[in-house]
Every structure is written in C-alpha cells, then in structure tokens.
C-alpha cells in the first residue's frame, strides 16, 4: 500500500480511454491494492475523488467520496464508492455549473456546466453490478471522475475560458460567479 504520484495534464495517459477491467479480475489482489493506493493517494491529496489513470494506471477504476449529510467532504467520515467499468446515462439534460478542480490540474479551477442528473451503471469492488442515480453537485463529481476513464479533463468542457482561474484569483475574484 502506498501513496502514489498523481500525474498531471500533459501526460498522455490522461488522454487515453482506459481499459475495461475483466469482471473476474475485479476482486483480484492486484485490484485491491490499486484501489487501496488510490484511496490513500486521494486522502493524502485531499481530493474527493480519483481515477486510476491519475496515478498512471490506464484502467477503468475510480473512487468517489459521497459527502456526508452535513455537506462536509471529510474523506475520513464519508463513504467512498468504488466504480469499475462505468456506463453513464443522462437522466436530466438541464445543465448546472460548478467551479471544478482536479488533482491532475493543480492550482487551477474552472467553471463547467454538466447535466444535473445522471445514472451510472458499474461494478463495485466485489464485482457486483450496481446502479446509482446522482444529482446536483454529486452528479458533477461523478461525471468529472468518470471523464478521466475516457481521456477527458474538465478543462475540455469549459465553454467560457475566462472562467479558468488560479485558486488564489478564484478566491479573490470569482466566488460570486
């Protein structure tokens, strides 16, 4: 188990469609170790989600923290969902915008609009098929993380490039946006 290096925008691994994990490999020791490393790396970097390509492993695995009811994003107390081989479908096409950040694009934030409600079909860490419907901010979190499995970054989805900002300038100029 280890905290791994997070690769950054510009590394071509982040631009590849990640490999589907064969269902009979989901419960393997190698996958358990990968998920554990992702969990430790996410916590060390204080992220709320991370995808395997972000630690240089081009496989369709992501973990996402479900915020606790108070809306806090404390990864120590919030459940984490492990997602293998997801398929995503839009339930409500109405767009909602949030300022997103990414461990692979450190220091920046950008305003991205995405569908407000989506359905994700996936395999969990025990290789059971699951479905989850998510909306509002959590829908954005899922779409952001799952984009990583298909070679996309949030910066690709910024429509108004004036809404890409360094964190400090975001705090100073954009918190009302």
Would you please indicate which residues are annotated as catalytic (active-site) residues?
A: 145
Closest distance of CB 108 from Zn ion, Å: 11
Cβ atoms of residues 145 and 132 within 8 Å: no
* 102 binds Zn ion per the rule CB under 5 A: yes
User: What is the rounded CA–CA span in Å between residue 93 and residue 85?
Assistant: 23
Q: Does 139 bind Zn ion (CB under 5 A)?
A: no
For 107-137, the DSSP string reads TEEEEEEEEEEEEEEEE-TTS-EEEEEEEHH
Residue 34, interface with Zn ion (CB under 5 A)? Answer: no
Should residue 35 be labelled a site residue for Zn ion when binding is judged by CB under 5 A?
no
Least distance in angstroms from the C-beta of 54 to Zn ion: 7
CA distances from 12 to 130, 143, 151, 170 (A): 30, 20, 9, 28
Does 6 interact with Zn ion (rule: CB under 5 A)? no
| Residue 38 Cβ vs Zn ion, minimum distance, rounded to whole Å | 12
Contact residues toward Zn ion (CB under 5 A) are 102
């Amino acid at each position: 188990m280890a905290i791994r290096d997070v690769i950054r925008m510009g590394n071509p691994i982040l631009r590849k469609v990640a490999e589907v994990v064969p269902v009979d490999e989901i419960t393997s020791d190698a996958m358990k170790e990968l998920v554990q490393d992702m969990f430790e790396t996410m916590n060390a970097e204080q992220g709320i989600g991370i995808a395997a390509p972000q630690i240089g492993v081009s496989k369709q695995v992501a973990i996402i923290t479900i915020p606790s009811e108070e809306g806090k994003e404390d990864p120590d107390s919030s459940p984490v969902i492990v997602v293998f081989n997801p398929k995503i479908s839009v339930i409500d096409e109405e767009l909602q915008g949030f300022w997103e950040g990414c461990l692979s694009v450190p220091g920046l934030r950008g305003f991205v609009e995405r569908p407000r409600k989506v359905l994700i079909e996936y395999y969990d860490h025990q290789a059971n098929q699951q479905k989850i419907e998510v909306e509002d901010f959590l829908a954005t979190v899922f779409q952001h993380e799952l984009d990583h499995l298909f070679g996309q970054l949030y910066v690709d989805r910024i429509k108004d490039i004036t809404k890409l900002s360094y964190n400090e300038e975001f705090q100073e100029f954009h918190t009302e946006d």
